[in-house]
């Protein structure tokens, strides 16, 4: 386990780690398609998620030019609308911006505040700049600096995205702690030389038995308590 004294800067993933991305998208789908029940809303959420994952993978493989999340989310919203028979342009347009209105987990705002009293803290998100700006305001997330993968024209786990945080931190990567609810994200940070901390969230990507992250916590509160203990 990395000692807190070895950590100079803390970096946190946003989507899924600080805000409830699957729950927020599911709620937005239910609002856009009022006739949908829980099962059909879940199926439409899968349509959204599969499109986003597929397009980000195509960008990673260079079979598609970079497109930010505002563009990909609009495409995902249209796919959901086509599947659900939704035709209203206003409803589809609001659904396309659902990622700007995701609720924070119940310990996110307080945990972030506590961390910022002890460390310089960065947000590092795949969300595009415009989405990240509005999401931070909506969820009440107050960072020392929020970084969008759009600035690297790539998506995590591409190494150039983590380099944004390392460059902003201005210290060796082994003194930067990446916090996420997604093991795939932490593997990318680990490959870039960063320290890693997994925080459990519903709908996240749990570690495998072969993962060797520096810290594992059941909640953000638990991790913050460990990092800020004197």
pLDDT at 2 over 70: no
pLDDT at 18: 98
Q: Scanning the structure block, which residue is given the tokens 């990507």?
A: 205
Distance CA 192, CA 25 (A): 30
pLDDT at 1: 58
Average of per-residue pLDDT across 128-148: 98
Prediction pTM value: 0.95
Q: Over the chain, what is the mean pLDDT?
A: 96
Domain assignments of the chain as residue spans, ordered by start: 4-20+102-228, 21-100
pLDDT at 36 over 90: no
pLDDT at 35: 84
Measured CA to CA in angstroms, residue 26 lies from 53, 148, 153, 188 at distances of: 16, 23, 27, 27
Radius of gyration, alpha carbons of the chain = 18
Tell me the per-residue pLDDT of 78-129, one tens digit each, with 9 for 90 and over: 999 999 999 999 999 999 999 999 999 999 999 999 999 999 999 999 999 9
pLDDT at 40: 94
DSSP codes joined into one string, 28-87: HHHHHSTT--HHHHHHHHHHHHHHHHHHHHHHHTTSS----HHHHHHHHHHHHHHHHT--
How crowded is residue 56: how many other Cβ atoms within 10 Å of its Cβ?
A: 21
Contacts 24+ apart (CB under 8 A), 26-30: 28/94, 28/95, 28/98, 28/101, 29/80, 29/95, 29/98
pLDDT at 138: 98
Tell me the CATH class for 4-20+102-228: alpha beta
Tell me the per-residue pLDDT of 144-183, one tens digit each, with 9 for 90 and over: 999 999 999 999 999 999 999 999 999 999 999 999 999 9
Alpha helices in 87-219 (DSSP H): 89-96, 108-116, 129-139, 159-169, 183-191
């Amino acid at each position: 386990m990395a000692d807190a004294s070895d950590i100079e800067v803390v970096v946190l993933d946003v989507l899924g780690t600080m805000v409830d991305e699957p729950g927020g998208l599911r709620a937005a789908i239910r609002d856009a398609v009022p006739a949908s029940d829980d099962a059909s809303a879940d199926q439409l959420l899968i349509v959204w998620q599969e499109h986003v994952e597929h397009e980000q993978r195509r960008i990673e493989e260079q079979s598609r030019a970079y497109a930010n999340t505002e563009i990909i989310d609009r495409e995902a919203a249209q796919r959901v609308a086509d599947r659900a028979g939704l035709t209203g342009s206003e409803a589809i347009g609001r659904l396309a911006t659902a990622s700007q209105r995701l609720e924070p987990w119940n310990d996110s705002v307080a945990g972030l505040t506590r961390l910022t009293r002890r460390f310089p803290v960065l947000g590092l998100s795949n969300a595009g700049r415009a989405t990240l700006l509005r999401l931070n305001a909506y969820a009440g997330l107050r960072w020392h600096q929020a970084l969008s993968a759009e600035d690297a024209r790539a998506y995590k786990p591409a190494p150039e995205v983590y380099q944004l945080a390392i460059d902003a931190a201005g210290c060796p990567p082994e003194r930067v702690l990446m916090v996420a609810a997604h093991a795939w994200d932490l593997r990318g940070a680990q490959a870039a030389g960063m320290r890693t901390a997994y925080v459990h969230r519903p709908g996240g990507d749990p570690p495998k038995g072969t993962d060797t992250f520096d810290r594992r916590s059941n909640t953000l509160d638990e991790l913050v308590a460990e990092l800020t203990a004197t």
